Amino acid sequence: MSSRLAAIVAGIAMAFPSIQSLSHHGSNVVYDLTQTIAVAGTVTEFQFVNPHTQILFDVTGDDGAVVGWLAGLPGSIRLTQEEGWSSDTLKPGDEISILGAPARNDAPSVWVEQVFLNGEPMLGDKYTG
């Protein structure tokens, strides 16, 4: 193998872990953590998993159109240990409101800072990014 080819392969190999790390731990890349939006809707699915828990919910717009949203949270282990959550914490049909950081690409997605169920906050102040 030529030294030039070896250098290219080594460069790619060194860059790969960085790309992987960014994709997993880069909530600030996907979401604008300097902004906060409020979104309300109806839970369609609650994925209580690691590395990130997800709430899928439908939001009905002023025009009556329903848009599916995704809300990202820390993983299930953290939510269980710090907040007492379980796979039954949210169920399809629950009406929720969410405060969180919007997606940078305007996708219907939010990184959760707070979830409200029946008007009651469900998280402490630990989930801001």
- CATH, residue 41: 2.40.50.140
Residue 77 CA to residue 86 CA, distance in Å, equals 9
Residue 3 CA to residue 93 CA, distance in Å, equals 61
- Is residue 83 a contact partner of residue 124, using CB atoms and an 8 Å limit? yes
Domain range holding 69?
31-121
Number of domains the chain contains: 2
Tokens read off for 38: 């409020």
Whether 45 is covered by a domain: the verdict is: yes
The tens digit of pLDDT for each residue in 28-82 reads 678 999 999 999 999 999 999 888 899 999 999 999 999 999 999 988 888 898 8
Whether 127 is covered by a domain: the verdict is: no
User: What pTM was computed for the model?
Assistant: 0.75
Report, as an integer, the average pLDDT of 76-94: 92
Whether 128 is covered by a domain: the verdict is: no
